[in-house]
Structure 1
């Protein structure tokens, strides 16, 4: 965790120079140098830094503790001081800028502490210099897991369970069209069965007969190019020690000659890097004779790089039934399972969460159990995850840890952080990214924002099959994800050893060694009594996934015990009133909690000058003070129902208020004032969610929706309009104007006439449009040509719409059309089916005539050879926008 610790330290130094600027400048230089070395070691697959990782981490922690404690002490003294005392602190602060030699006693202590860290950094740099003097191996020439004859494919075909669809699909691609050389990529997480699937095809008698020659090579993370070619050449025709005497160029040429004119099958197992494919691809001839290459990898980008024309084969987890079938065969072979063990055996299989390697490892453990006693099986069933990681699971640990150890330094902390979430939790990617940023894991990369860099981190972890995408939003972006239980166990185990995260639940208590050095605590059950057992001053993050009646009162002690806290996620705890002590946690970057009833934030919330993310959920209205506009580092404000106090126009850019340059998200605001002056406070807002309750009297011009155009960076807008009485008239002639940057727009309840749709159709970057509950009013919609040029997703929930006239040029990029409760619409325009990009028609509670028209469109497209259009029909209970 050295990398994450250094990134966080450098961010802290940049924000707060520390007790003495000169010494923190030196500290900053040393930390930057070490960070550069870590980044370089990731690019070179160097292992020289690993033995020093813990020293760098601990020294970085110590420096950050000194600086943060110094800041807290000064803030506490200033807030407690008054009269002469307060003035004294201001004078000292001013004098320190002019005469650096003037310090308080505490400052001298801080200086000595920072100097100690600098000395430690110097010592580490010296050690690294000694290690790197001629001892580093060139990239790609590592010594571990090199390809070679010792790793050739086993000769026997092994039994597989649950892979029948995969087997049929791969076999069809191996022996079917096209005749040109085809690269078949099998992608999935470690232990999911990629190698097993490839091996069973490789050793299949039909495949052996079909291909003139075959070759198998295990590439792995650290590969030798020469040994890779040696293995391939030896598999195709030649064997003998003389191959080792040949150069890489000679071996590559020999491989090409051995394959030329023959129908061949090459399996490249466990490919980690696109460079591998660049090294070998030109030596695989394409004679248009049906030759094939199977490539297995954990990384989607590798698969896409090798073959952009054909889709990769994504491995799926086993079903519960297939898991049990595999477990039964692993334990008993061809024998029957005793009936007394079948029920508990099925539970064990299900607890393996569909990962074949986990099932096999547990099966091996059960096969060694004494006389297959039921109590042994029950014990394993209740502890399957921890047993896999703790007992004789070298194979599983080696494979899973290989994925983890191969991560570049900047991804390791992000991956281990997945362990803070409860088992099987569906994780919001948006929340995860905000947490990564608040934790200081993300290194800024101009011109990208912290969040954009964090999204790149997430995609990288997903490509490596370490995180599984669960759901996507309407614009195709990942909405939620999950992590397999086995990988989560790895995260928890490694994070605890790295002093990174401590998970507390009913089964885990802090070890004596862990009570004084854990930086992050994740509470999954009633773990608060344990807080008294550890040194809370070390804690930087507290995340609660548990709630009971005692938590609200017990959390009141946090400001005194965890003064350096940066992340507090207490969304599971329902407060009855604002926890006032939280405003003393001046280092907070992320704050999330829930509440009951109405809550009014105190003006002192502005003391949280470092706060980046504020999430407040549930309850009725939340009243926010004008001081919320004085918090310059705010990046995300998310509420269920947020009511704002507003500055007057003369205050907007005055000395008491700041321009919230960093604010990107404002969601859940009620009756928000869309004035130009208010929008000037948040010029870089990207996502806005607002709702309005019309009283039946307010003039339409007072809403000022045409001022949205001043939000020049806005990409997502959700604007909901309701009336106190549903039948009451909405304000007519509402003026609307949007910035050209808008990509996603959701409207509800406006009763806009269809003639104004051209305002929306002319938006040059609009990709998603959702129209619900009388957003538009009228019976006929006839789009104009040249509109909606980039629209990909369209949702219509309009009960008044009867006729819709369309031609394919109106929506040239449309991929997904969703119709809901369109009771008066006669039929889907037949021309919709002629849109070449259309992939999905979804219907929710629509009349039979609409369903029939959708089916006719699908049949017509199928008759023309377009099998890509799908139609899905749902009932009311399925409808979620």
Structure 2
């Protein structure tokens, strides 16, 4: 946490020492900045083997940096609030000038902090002189082969082939009754991995009509389990948050009626949990199955009388060696000089897959020297006295944590903020890391790009698990193993980093994160009476559906940076939060149309604003943004279901608006004109979602679609066009529609352009995902040309009048998934599609029987060539989305 506290303080100081500010800054601020810079540089090059020696120093660095940041940010916040009555726009340099007046009061405390940091720096220099601290040198860096993320070719199935075969036999036995197959074993044996391998097996997928996966976990919430089941059954995020438990249960039962189903109930801890979930599943007397994973033998024994529990065991020596080899070297050979010490490390892991995977991740990302591997072997032996005891595993995880580069530690610990078995989108996680100031700036990359590199590093170390990959081979969602989360919770409390709200009366002064995973009703009196009213909390995350009134409690946290309140349903903007001028990240959920107040411009530090529509996704979930939004120069991400963004006319007349040069994401704006002046105000936009309601009078050309080509950094574009009053036939878009060459993902809907103009899309050399929805292109025939769509991996065609499609394997050489939905007129899938070597899946919904037949012919041809991984997925009418 020393590095995290210094990184955060350094960014605060950088904000004051603004490069465009020509005024003289207080010497004390520059002196503090110098000390922070020195200590950050030291931690960057400090070897993980220094952990024990530096423990005391790191605690002192953390506490000093936290205190300095509290002093400086409270002064900045006070100054901004004092000026909030003025309508004049305040630049960062103006704010920093005013802050000078506050330093007199703070000088003495800051001077003591600088003396403390000076003392720490002196100790570091003395330890270096005595050679007590090892420094990472370029020669100790990873070999070139290890610099690339290895995530795509890790084999989680190593050592599980025998188990997989047995579970498949149990699932496909000719018993018509509903049977529960229990997988039982201690934490870390790979129960969930085995269940996932079984669930995704092509033989199993074809054997059952429907499949669903739900996680129960220790923190059991019946409504969340039911929602999870419906989401899994329907293959999408079903907005059922406000439905009653009874209604959700009824929908689950209806979805399974008369179908042969496979349900995985992962991580069951108590028998009453199992009984509640099992009661939802009808016995259709057709061979339906339930897979149960649990650590508790008594739960597994009582789950089913028809099938004894399947007990997982540790890996034998050969399996352990194969798994460790895969984790560390992949397809490379094991270096002979490391083989003997590798076998010593192997024996210390005692066949437990979790330990082998964690140690494998550590060795993969560390220097491949005999000296370091001996260091690892010694520590493993001393940390694990008895593999049956969970504290032994936690001790080992603690050693692995100490080996992490300093900048990764806080990102890993942040995972304890999430509830058990929680799945978070990569895009959200990286935004939260950035808002919390965990990321070290890099002039050549955006903060989000650096955050994604941190995430990939933690994935390569097997400390964060990828739950879902996109078709582009990128991380989509991720989570953390229960045992690793237990460690993070323990370490976070030790580091004064995170606590659940129920422990607030016990909080430390330096507490930075608060997660709210329960109903606050019973906590309000305790919160009101707590002696720590002046908390320095920087982030509050709600995971429980609390009342909108509970947002008033947030005012206690007056230095708050992150407010994630998506689980609270608001009817109007909680205007009181505009006084929390340190906020950088706000996520809210609205029920209806709402207007943001002009006072939102007080949040001059705001970087991310997310508004979720909640249950009802319609025109009633519309955000009306004020003109003052164009004064918020630090904005990086604006995400809405629907929003009206006012045109900045004042900016074009020399007004006080400023360019939104940091803006990367804008989603979803309605009927906005993309003039040259607008493009110049947001030059770094990477993701854009826009919608247009055609009224029959406005000319399409007035929206300047041809200007999109000038958004040179744009990688994701989604354009939705529809007629008011739902008129089916509207005017097609002009054919001079133009796109930037960096585009990787494109979604078009309702354009009604002729297929012959598809060349404007096919010429995008970087395009990997293309979704064509609701007559995006029209006409009975589409013939592809050579040299187009060279990198396309996912093609979705949704609701079109297309009848014949001429294509061969040379046209879509990288295609992995083809999705055809509501293509009622399409006669068949061209046979050339089946010859594409990369094709893994064809997804069909509401297509002719002849289309299904042609897909089956392709599958037979694939299987005859030995490609048994290819699959056909038939979707129900309710499924209207495919993830990318």
Do they superpose with TM above 0.5? yes
Which residue, out of 570, 575, 584, partners 2:570?
A: 575
Larger mean CA deviation between 563-572 and 519-528 belongs to 519-528
Structure with the greater relative contact order (CA < 8 A, sep ≥ 6): 1 or 2? 2
Q: Secondary structure at the match of 2:519?
A: coil
Matching residue of 1:521: 514
Q: Secondary structure at the match of 2:666?
A: strand
Which residue, out of 537, 556, 559, partners 1:539?
A: 537
Matching residue of 2:678: 678
- Does the Cα contact within 8 Å between 2:840 and 2:871 map onto a contact in 1? yes
Unaligned runs of 5+ in 2: 19-23, 138-156, 167-186, 194-311, 330-334, 346-355, 371-375, 378-383, 614-619
CA RMSD, Structure 1 to Structure 2 (Å): 3.9
Which residue, out of 545, 549, 553, partners 2:549?
A: 553
Q: Secondary structure at the match of 1:538?
A: coil
Q: Which whole-Å deviations, capped at 9, do the CAs of 1:40-99 have from their partners, x for residues lacking one? A: 12466554222211110010011111111111222233346999xx99xx99986x89xx
CA distance in 1, matches of 2:849, 2:403: 55
Larger mean CA deviation between 610-619 and 660-669 belongs to 610-619
CA distance in 2, matches of 1:275, 1:137: 21
Deviation, structure 1 residue 680: 1.9
Matching residue of 1:131: 127
Larger CA Rg, structure 1 vs 2: 1
Residue 594 of structure 2 corresponds to residue 589 of structure 1: no
For the structure 1 residues 93 and 754, does the alpha-carbon distance in structure 2 shift closer, same or farther, using more than 3 Å as the test? closer
Residue 452 of structure 2 corresponds to residue 429 of structure 1: no
Q: Secondary structure at the match of 1:535?
A: coil
- Does the Cα contact within 8 Å between 1:741 and 1:765 map onto a contact in 2? yes
Deviation, structure 1 residue 466: 1.7
Q: Secondary structure at the match of 1:628?
A: helix
Which residue, out of 436, 455, 458, partners 2:455?
A: 458
Matching residue of 1:114: 110
CA distance in 2, matches of 1:122, 1:511: 34
Matching residue of 1:720: 720
CA distance in 1, matches of 2:363, 2:478: 24
Matching residue of 1:315: none
Deviation, structure 1 residue 685: 0.3
Deviation, structure 1 residue 726: 3.0
Q: Which whole-Å deviations, capped at 9, do the CAs of 1:460-502 have from their partners, x for residues lacking one? A: 1112222221123343322211222222222222112211111
Q: Which whole-Å deviations, capped at 9, do the CAs of 1:773-809 have from their partners, x for residues lacking one? A: 1111111001111211221211111331100001222
- Does the Cα contact within 8 Å between 2:651 and 2:658 map onto a contact in 1? no
Matching residue of 1:613: 608
CA distance in 1, matches of 2:159, 2:339: 31
Residue 727 of structure 2 corresponds to residue 732 of structure 1: no
- Does the Cα contact within 8 Å between 1:806 and 1:831 map onto a contact in 2? yes
For the structure 1 residues 669 and 229, does the alpha-carbon distance in structure 2 shift closer, same or farther, using more than 3 Å as the test? closer
Q: Which whole-Å deviations, capped at 9, do the CAs of 1:10-47 have from their partners, x for residues lacking one? A: 00000024995321111111111111111112466554
CA distance in 2, matches of 1:520, 1:52: 23
Matching residue of 1:210: none
Residue 37 of structure 2 corresponds to residue 25 of structure 1: no
Deviation, structure 1 residue 601: 1.0
Larger mean CA deviation between 395-404 and 576-585 belongs to 395-404
Q: Secondary structure at the match of 1:712?
A: coil
- Does the Cα contact within 8 Å between 2:816 and 2:841 map onto a contact in 1? yes
Deviation, structure 1 residue 232: 8.0
Q: Which whole-Å deviations, capped at 9, do the CAs of 1:121-174 have from their partners, x for residues lacking one? A: 011112223333434376899xxxxxxxxxxxxxxxxxxx9965257899xxxx
Deviation, structure 1 residue 228: 5.9
Give 1:641-652 correspondences, 5 Å limit: 641-648=642-649, 651-652=651-652
For the structure 1 residues 516 and 835, does the alpha-carbon distance in structure 2 shift closer, same or farther, using more than 3 Å as the test? same
Matching residue of 1:794: 795
- Does the Cα contact within 8 Å between 1:795 and 1:817 map onto a contact in 2? yes
For the structure 1 residues 535 and 629, does the alpha-carbon distance in structure 2 shift closer, same or farther, using more than 3 Å as the test? same
CA distance in 2, matches of 1:675, 1:851: 45
CA distance in 1, matches of 2:30, 2:165: 60
Matching residue of 2:39: 34
Residue 831 of structure 2 corresponds to residue 830 of structure 1: yes
Between Structure 1 and Structure 2, how many residues are aligned? 676
CA distance in 1, matches of 2:858, 2:431: 43
Which residue, out of 76, 80, 92, partners 1:75?
A: 80
Which residue, out of 577, 581, 599, partners 2:594?
A: 599
TM-score, normalised relative to structure 2? 0.70
For the structure 1 residues 51 and 849, does the alpha-carbon distance in structure 2 shift closer, same or farther, using more than 3 Å as the test? same
- Does the Cα contact within 8 Å between 2:806 and 2:830 map onto a contact in 1? yes
For the structure 1 residues 45 and 809, does the alpha-carbon distance in structure 2 shift closer, same or farther, using more than 3 Å as the test? farther
For the structure 1 residues 54 and 775, does the alpha-carbon distance in structure 2 shift closer, same or farther, using more than 3 Å as the test? same
For the structure 1 residues 783 and 275, does the alpha-carbon distance in structure 2 shift closer, same or farther, using more than 3 Å as the test? closer
- Does the Cα contact within 8 Å between 2:714 and 2:740 map onto a contact in 1? yes
CA distance in 2, matches of 1:487, 1:663: 35
Matching residue of 2:664: 664
Q: Secondary structure at the match of 1:470?
A: strand
TM-score, normalised relative to structure 1? 0.70
CA distance in 1, matches of 2:674, 2:560: 35
Q: Secondary structure at the match of 1:9?
A: helix
Give 1:467-486 correspondences, 5 Å limit: 467-486=464-483
- Does the Cα contact within 8 Å between 1:468 and 1:483 map onto a contact in 2? yes
Q: Which whole-Å deviations, capped at 9, do the CAs of 1:730-769 have from their partners, x for residues lacking one? A: 2234241111111100011111111111110111211110
For the structure 1 residues 234 and 703, does the alpha-carbon distance in structure 2 shift closer, same or farther, using more than 3 Å as the test? closer
Give 1:497-512 correspondences, 5 Å limit: 497-504=494-501, 508-512=502-506
Unaligned runs of 5+ in 1: 98-102, 142-160, 171-188, 208-214, 236-266, 281-294, 297-356, 365-391
Give 1:251-270 correspondences, 5 Å limit: 270=359
Which residue, out of 352, 358, 363, partners 1:273?
A: 363
- Does the Cα contact within 8 Å between 1:539 and 1:564 map onto a contact in 2? yes
